[in-house]
Amino acid sequence: MIGYCNGEWIPIKDLTIAVSDRGFSLGDGLFETLLVWQGRVCLAEHHWQRLTSSAQQLRIPLPPEASLDLLQATVDRNQLETGALRVTLTRGCGQRGLQSPDPLQPLLVVVPSLSQPQFQPLRLVTAQTVRRCPESILSRFKTLSYLENVLARQEAEQQQADEALLLTPSDRLSEAAAANVFVHMNDHWWTPPLSDGALPGIVRQRLLATGWAQEASIAWSQRDHIEAIALSNSLSFRPVSHWDGRALKTDLEDWRSRFEYLQR
């Protein structure tokens, strides 16, 4: 497959990143993951807007040739019918230390991959070693600094689970390691607000816009009233079959149909 790197199309097996790149050495960058469905990049404008807005706030300029058209061009060049795109933006190469490079030469990479959207039920556990800090500026962006998410997922794997739920320091539900979380209580779907550390996910935004769910802080003390949980990201919309060993309902929605509707 062919990837894009700062104006060049390069076979993925030959695509390399300099060891002095700050995305590699410091996690100084952003990323987006996009679904490719029926040869089309889904919700491309939404993802590109989030990337460019986040980059502006973090003062990471995009390379001059960067544009939304690169996403579909990557799909077309690879004749990709179903899969995913990973878009990575870094602050570029720099000297050792934290001082920003001068001049700044950002790096933009677009890499395609084969994958299928996931809808099957999964097992969820509550992370004990990692908490989501709503006050951190990083909670608002998809940065390359993903170690906390990695540790939470490792904790889930050690318990033979598929995903980990992150709480805030004040014991409110925030999000999963790689997904937004929705809970069903009192005949309605709810999702934690951004003020509780939830990432502003694209699919999450769509679910709120269509009225499928509403925002509300969800305390850990309310867990016994939760009858169903669903997790969403750009590549999946999955019900939770078991949460910390407790069985939950998984048949409250046609997950595939709902997900496909959101991609329009």
pLDDT tens per residue, range 78-124: 999 999 999 999 999 988 888 888 888 999 999 999 999 999 999 99
Residues 142 and 40 in one domain: no
Residues 205 and 133 in one domain: yes
CATH code for the domain in which residue 140 is found: 3.20.10.10
Q: What 8-state DSSP symbol labels residue 58?
A: T
Residues in CB range of 104: below 8 A, 6 or more apart: 61, 91, 92
Residues 147 and 208 in one domain: yes
pLDDT at residue 264, rounded to an integer: 76
- Residue 131 belongs to what domain range? 122-262
Residues 65 and 183 in one domain: no
Mean pLDDT of 133-151: 94
What pLDDT, in 10s, does the model give residues 193-209? 999 999 999 999 999 99
| Residue 264 host element (H or E) | none
114, 135, 157: which is the final residue of a domain? 114
Residues 82 and 173 in one domain: no
Using a 10 angstrom Cβ sphere, with 0-12 exposed, 13-18 middle and 19 or more buried, the burial of residue 3 is buried
| Mean pLDDT estimate for the chain | 96
pTM: 0.93
User: By percentage, how much of the chain surpasses pLDDT 90?
Assistant: 91
61, 92, 114: which is the final residue of a domain? 114
Nearest-angstrom CA–CA distance, 54 and 62: 11
Residues 151 and 255 in one domain: yes
114, 143, 173: which is the final residue of a domain? 114
How many separate domains does the chain show? 2
Residues 136 and 24 in one domain: no
In sequence order, which ranges of the chain are alpha helices (DSSP H)?
Answer: 22-26, 44-57, 69-78, 147-158, 202-209, 255-262
Q: Which residue has the higher pLDDT, 2 or 65?
A: 2
- Evaluate whether 240 touches 182 at the Cβ level (below 8 Å): no
pLDDT at residue 95, rounded to an integer: 87
Residues 161 and 254 in one domain: yes
Please tell me the number of Cα atoms within 13 Å of 233 on its side-chain side: 17
Residues 97 and 189 in one domain: no
Residues 243 and 141 in one domain: yes
Residues 102 and 181 in one domain: no
Residues 28 and 139 in one domain: no
Nearest-angstrom CA–CA distance, 164 and 118: 17
The 3-state DSSP class for residue 49 equals: helix
